[in-house]
Homo-oligomer: A and B are copies of this chain.
Amino acid sequence: MSRKRPGKQNRRSPFKRRSKPGAAPGTMIVDPQAPKPRVRLIAFGPDEFLETEVEDLEKIAQIRGRFPVIWVNVDGLGDASVLSRLQKIFGLHPLAMEDVVNSHQRPKVESYDGQLFIIARELTVRETCLENDQLAIFVGQGFVISFQEIRGDCFDPVRARIRDRSGQFRSRGPDYLCYTLIDAVVDSYFPTVESLGEKLEAAEESILRRPCEKDLVRLHDLKRDLLLVRRAAWPLREAIGSLIRDRHPLITESTLAYLRDAADHTVQIIDLVETDRELCSDLRDIYLSSVSMRMNQIVKVLTIISTIFIPLTFLAGVYGMNFDPAAGPLSMPELRQPLGYAGFWGVCLLIAVSLLGLFAWLGWLGERSEP
């Protein structure tokens, strides 16, 4: 009866690490178990391009301003000194930096002193279990900084597109780069939702064919994952929407159409998730009904066999009684009849057939798929 669910225990952890209640806002308390930061720099302009892994952060301060766009990507948040150095170089707001290290923020867009601060959630499937990591993006004049909770992101195609000298990417500004990062995240939700849809498909198949108790746990896990996706996509949609509506000066007109496209994709994700959730509920009802039907069938078999044999057993008991036939003419005269035994079997047969007829009339002997 006990089921092991490997990899599920670290599932609800996202909101454990917090600055203490009452602590000064903007306090940056780093999770000591988080991986050490790895800083990668890509700087580009229409005709320039530089890509390098950064060890010494001062180098970034030197490069700043020399390229139209600088993209600093930080994987891992385990070192406060790296983060506060970057904060100083680019003048990032302390409240935003607090959100970066408390990696359980809702997706949102905020504007601090002319800079945009954007939170999104990256969803990845690790060992059958949906993980939910934070991506924080700062956009400022001439730079984009992205902080990711873990190493291994979905930005490799973006990097390839920047490296590709022939594309139009290099002639665009930091707002387009920012859009590209958001779009990469949103697009990465699609395979996730697809794989959840396939699991739902499998659960449906199983429930409609031969429901077993595990299906309900499967549906529960699916619902949880769908909730997770919704919690990632719903506020992201609002965030992108507010970005479009409020027209931050950093966002150029030409990028707006792209952002609208990204917003549209989040709506599609939400739509799919909602449909899947409705189907989940429906399947659970079908499962429960199916369990009831089984029960019905089992009880029917019990009832048919019991009600047929109980009267017969009584009859056999009657003729097993030891009333003395010699005591009088009314004292079990059947026992001495030559055809008494045969008559007993005849009565038994009659009873059985009548009862079976009754059950058939009640529709209990129909095909199995009927209740």
A contacts, CB < 8 Å to B: 1-3, 5, 12, 15-16, 18-25, 93, 95, 104-106, 108, 110, 112, 154-158, 161, 167, 169, 180, 183-184, 187-188, 190-191, 193-194, 197, 201, 208-214, 216-217, 220, 223-224, 227, 231, 235, 257-258, 260-261, 264, 267-268, 271-272, 275, 278-279, 282-303, 305-307, 309-314, 316-325, 327-332, 334-342, 344, 362-364, 368-371
Contacts and interface: CB of A to CB of B under 8 A. Distances in A.
Contacts of A297: 362
A106 B264 contact: yes
Contacts of A261: 25, 95
A110 B257 CA distance: 9
Contacts of A23: 157, 187
6 contacts: A5-B208, A105-B268, A306-B310, A309-B313, A313-B314, A327-B335
A2 B368 CA distance: 11
B154 A22 contact: yes
Contacts of A201: 12
A193 B197 CA distance: 25
A108 B264 contact: yes
B268 A104 contact: yes
